[in-house]
Chain A
Amino acid sequence: MMHLKETELCLGLPGGGCEADTALKVTGKRGYSQTVDLMLNLQTNDQSSSTDLNDNKLQNSTKNNKDPIKPPAKAQVVGWPPVRNYRKNVMAQKSNNEETEKVVAATAGGGSVAAFVKVSMDGAPYLRKVDLKLYESYQQLSDALAKMFSSFTMGDYGSQGMIDFMNESKLMDLLNSSEYVPSYEDKDGDWMLVGDVPWQMFVESCKRLRIMKGSDAIGLAPRAMAKCKNRC
Chain B
Amino acid sequence: MTYSFPEEVLEHVFSFLTSQNDRNAASLVCRTWYEMERWCRKRIFVGNCYAVNPRVLIRRFPEVKAVELKGKPHFADFNLVPEGWGGFVYPWIVEFARVYPWLEEIRLKRMVVTDECLEIVSKAFRNFKVLILSSCEGFSTDGLAAVAANCRNLRVLDLRECEVEELSGHWLSHFPDSFTSLESLNIACLSLEVSFSALERLVSRSPNLKTLRLNRTVPLEKISKLLQRAPQLADFGTGAYSAEIRPDVYSSLQEAFSGCKKLKSLSGFWDVVPAYLPAVFSVCSQLTYLNLSYATTQSPDLIKVISQCHNLQRLVVLDYIEDMGLDTVAVTCKDLRELVVFPSDPFVADANVLLTEEGLVSVSQGCSKLQSVLYFCRQMSNSALISISKNRPNLTCFRLCILEPRAPDYLTFEPLDVGFGSIVENCKELTRLSMSGLLTDRVFEYIGKHAKKLDMLSVAFAGDSDLGLHHVLSGCESLRKLEIRDCPFGDKALLANASKLLTMRSLWMSSCFVSFGACKLLGQKMPGLNVEVIDERENLNLLPENAPVEKVYIYRTVSGQRLDMPDFVRIMGKDKNGVYNLSLCDKGL
Judged by a CB distance under 8 angstroms, whether B281 is at the interface is: no
Q: A82 CA to B347 CA in the complex, in Å?
A: 11
A77 CB contacts on chain B under 8 angstroms = 405
A35 near B461 with CB under 8 A, answer yes
Asked whether A82 lies within 8 Å of B78 as measured between CB atoms, the reply is yes
Residue B115, interface by CB 8 Å? no
Instruction: Please name the residue on chain B nearest to A100 by beta carbon.
Output: B352
Decide if B347 touches A150 in the complex (CB within 8 Å).
no
A97: contacting residue among B75, B296, B548, CB under 8 A: B296
Find the A residue at minimum CB distance from B188: A86
In A100-122, the 8 Å CB interface with B consists of 100, 102-103
B411: Cβ under 8 A from any A Cβ = yes
Neighbour of B440 across the interface among A9, A31, A97, CB < 8 A: A9
Q: Which residues of A contact B575 (CB under 8 A)?
A: none
Given contacts A91-B345, A150-B271, are A11 and B408 in contact (CB under 8 A)?
yes
Q: Mark A39-81, 1 if CB is under 8 A from B, else 0.
A: 0101100000001010011001101100000110110111111
Contacts of A100 in B (CB 8 A): 352
| In the bound complex, CA of A147 to CA of B275 (Å) | 15
A7 proximal to B (CB < 8 A): yes
Determine the distance from Cα of A70 to Cα of B460 in the docked complex, in whole angstroms.
23
Q: Are A6 and B352 in contact (CB under 8 A)?
A: no
* Bound CA span A34–B245, Å: 47
User: B270 — which chain A residues lie within 8 A by C-beta?
Assistant: 90
CB of A43 within 8 A of CB of B467, answer no
- B134-162 interface code vs A (CB 8 A; 1 in, 0 out): 01000000000000000000000000010
Q: Is B526 an interface residue (CB 8 A)?
A: no
Q: Is the CB of B401 within 8 A of A38?
A: no
Q: Indicate whether B311 reaches chain A with its CB closer than 8 angstroms.
A: no
Q: Within 8 Å of chain B (Cβ to Cβ): is A222?
A: no
Measured in the bound complex, the distance between the Cα atoms of B271 and A147 in whole Å is 8
Known: A2-B441, A21-B465, A38-B406. A86 touches B189 (CB 8 A): yes
Cβ 8 A contact of A30, one of B77, B350, B351, B548: B548
Q: Does B80 contact A (CB under 8 A)?
A: yes
Cβ distance B52 to chain A, nearest Cβ, rounded Å: 27
B512 CB contacts on chain A under 8 angstroms: 31
B233-245 vs A, CB cutoff 8 Å, 1 = contact: the mask equals 0000000001111
The reply to whether A80 and B350 contact each other, CB–CB distance below 8 Å, is no
Q: Is the CB of B511 within 8 A of A31?
A: yes
- Could you say which residues of chain A place their CB within 8 Å of the CB of B405? 35-36, 38, 77, 80
Interface range, A side: 35 or more
A residues within 8 A CB of B403? 81
Interface string of A1-18 (1 = CB under 8 A from B): 011001101010010000
Find chain B residues with CB under 8 A from A61 CB. Answer: 350-351
Q: Is A166 an interface residue (CB 8 A)?
A: no
* Nearest CB on A from B458, distance (A): 8
**Distance in angstroms between the alpha carbons of A100 and B348 in the assembled complex:** 11
Question: In the assembly, what is the distance between CA of A7 and CA of B462, in Å?
Answer: 12
Q: How far is the CA of A3 from the CA of B442 in the complex (A)?
A: 11
Decide if B87 is an interface residue (CB 8 Å cutoff).
no
Q: Which residues of B contact A2 (CB under 8 A)?
A: 441, 445, 467
> Do A31 and B513 contact each other (CB < 8 Å), given the known contacts A6-B441, A9-B440, A123-B245?
yes
**Contact B411 A102, beta carbon cutoff 8 Å:** no
B546 at the interface (CB under 8 A from A): yes
Q: Are B465 and A53 within 8 A (Cβ)?
A: no
* Cα distance A185–B346 in the bound complex, in angstroms: 36
Q: Is the CB of A9 within 8 A of B415?
A: yes
CB of B244 within 8 A of CB of A81, answer: no
Give min CB distance, B405 to chain A, whole Å.
6
Q: Is the CB of A124 within 8 A of B350?
A: no
Q: Check if B352 sits within 8 Å of A103, measured CB to CB.
A: yes
Cβ contact of B352, chosen from A70, A90, A102, cutoff 8 A:
A102
Q: Answer whether residue B26 sits at the interface, using C-beta atoms and an 8 A cutoff.
A: no
Q: Are B465 and A81 in contact (CB under 8 A)?
A: no
CA A9 – CA B358 in complex, angstroms? 26
Q: Please determine whether B356 and A57 come into contact, CB atoms closer than 8 angstroms.
A: yes
Q: Does B485 contact A (CB under 8 A)?
A: yes
Which chain B residues lie closer than 8 Å to A40 at the CB level?
406, 408
Please name all residues of chain A whose beta carbon is closer than 8 Å to the beta carbon of B349 when the two chains form the complex. 70-71, 73-74
Which chain B residues lie closer than 8 Å to A82 at the CB level? 77-78, 401, 460
Task: Name the contact of A32 in the complex, choosing from B271, B344, B486, B547 (C-beta under 8 A).
Answer: B486
The answer on a CB contact under 8 Å between B77 and A9 is: no
Interface membership of A27, Cβ < 8 A: yes
Query: Taking the complex as formed, is B294 at the interface, i.e. its CB lies under 8 A from any CB of chain A?
Result: yes
A123 vs B343: C-alpha distance in the bound complex, in angstroms? 32
What residue of chain B has the Cβ atom nearest to residue A97's Cβ?
B296
Given contacts A84-B77, A90-B270, A150-B271, contact A74 B244 (CB under 8 A): no
B533 vs chain A, min Cβ distance (A): 14
Is there contact, CB below 8 Å, between A64 and B78? no
- CB within 8 Å for A150 and B242 given contacts A7-B442, A35-B405, A78-B80: yes
Beyond A32-B486, A82-B78, whether A102 also contacts B401 by CB under 8 A is: no
Shortest beta-carbon distance from A94 to chain B in Å:
6
CB closest residue in chain B, given A51: B411
Say if the beta carbon of A85 comes within 8 Å of chain B.
Answer: yes
A93 → B minimal CB distance (Å): 9
Nearest A residue to B293, CB-CB: A87
**A-contacting residues, B342-369, CB 8 Å:** 342-354, 356, 358
Q: Do the beta carbons of B464 and A14 come within 8 Å of each other? A: yes
Contact of A76 among B77, B161, B347, B486 (CB under 8 A): B347
Question: CA A3 – CA B163 in complex, angstroms?
Answer: 47
- Give the distance in Å from the alpha carbon of A66 to the alpha carbon of B240 in the complex: 40
Q: Is B45 an interface residue (CB 8 A)?
A: no
Give min CB distance, A102 to chain B, whole Å: 6
Q: Is A167 an interface residue (CB 8 A)?
A: no
Q: Which residues of A contact B358 (CB under 8 A)?
A: 53
Q: Given the complex, which residues of A lie within 8 Å of B490, measured CB to CB?
A: 23
Name, among B245, B353, B401, the residue most crowded by chain A CB atoms within 10 Å (CB to CB).
B245
Q: Is B19 an interface residue (CB 8 A)?
A: no
Q: Provide the residues of chain A in CB contact with B347, threshold 8 Å.
A: 74, 76
Cβ A60 vs Cβ B408 within 8 A = no
Closest chain A residue to B445 by CB distance?
Answer: A2
In this complex, what residue of B is CB-closest to A94?
B296
Question: Once bound together, how far apart are the Cα atoms of A42 and B408, in whole Å?
Answer: 9
Give A103 Cβ to nearest chain B Cβ, in Å. Answer: 6
- In the complex, the answer to whether A27 meets B548 with C-beta atoms within 8 Å is yes
Q: Separation in Å of the B267 CB from the closest CB of chain A?
A: 13
Residues of A contacting B408 in the complex (Cβ-Cβ under 8 angstroms): 11, 40, 42
> Which B437-454 residues have C-beta < 8 A from chain A?
438, 440-442, 445
Contact of A63 among B80, B293, B350, B438 (CB under 8 A): B350
- What are 10 A-B pairs with beta-carbon distances under 8 A? A26-B546, A34-B486, A38-B406, A43-B413, A81-B346, A83-B346, A99-B344, A99-B352, A123-B245, A147-B271
Query: Which 6 A-B pairs rank lowest in CB-CB distance, beginning with the nearest?
Result: A79-B78, A151-B244, A150-B242, A6-B465, A82-B78, A79-B80
